[in-house]
């Protein structure tokens, strides 16, 4: 069984599962011992419909905005060395979708 502490921490830093479901139509949350990914139904300005966040050894994140259609996964944008406090701001600026009112 995987330790989901990191995945749950990332989820909390983005505002929590309830907020992501309500504001983005987020679904299909998948966590591992060092990452979190999910898909969302809201239309993003960069064409993504999924997010993948991985904790790196440097205690920063690698963030990928992806488009998943059928079985094809396309990376729309990728960022390295993202600090925890910048996760929400990065998500909002890349997608044009807001995680807070």
| Helices 87-95, 5-13: inter-axial angle, 10-degree rounding | 60
Mean pLDDT of 86-100: 94
What are the sequence ranges of the domains in the chain? 5-78
Q: Which of the four pLDDT bands, split at 50, 70 and 90, describes residue 2?
A: low
Does pTM top 0.85 for this prediction? yes
Q: Which of the four pLDDT bands, split at 50, 70 and 90, describes residue 30?
A: very high
Q: Which of the four pLDDT bands, split at 50, 70 and 90, describes residue 71?
A: confident
Task: Quickly count: other Cβ atoms within 10 Å of residue 66's Cβ.
Answer: 18
* Statement: residue 38 has pLDDT above 70: yes
């Amino acid at each position: 069984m995987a330790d989901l502490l990191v995945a749950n921490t990332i989820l909390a830093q983005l505002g929590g599962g309830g907020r992501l479901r309500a504001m983005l139509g987020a679904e299909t949350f998948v966590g591992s011992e060092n990452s979190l990914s999910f898909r969302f139904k809201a239309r993003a300005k960069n064409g993504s419909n999924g997010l993948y966040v991985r904790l790196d050894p440097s205690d920063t994140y690698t963030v990928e905005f992806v488009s998943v259609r059928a079985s094809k996964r396309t990376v729309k944008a990728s960022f390295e060395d993202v600090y925890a406090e910048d996760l929400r701001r990065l998500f909002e600026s890349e997608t044009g979708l807001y995680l807070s009112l």
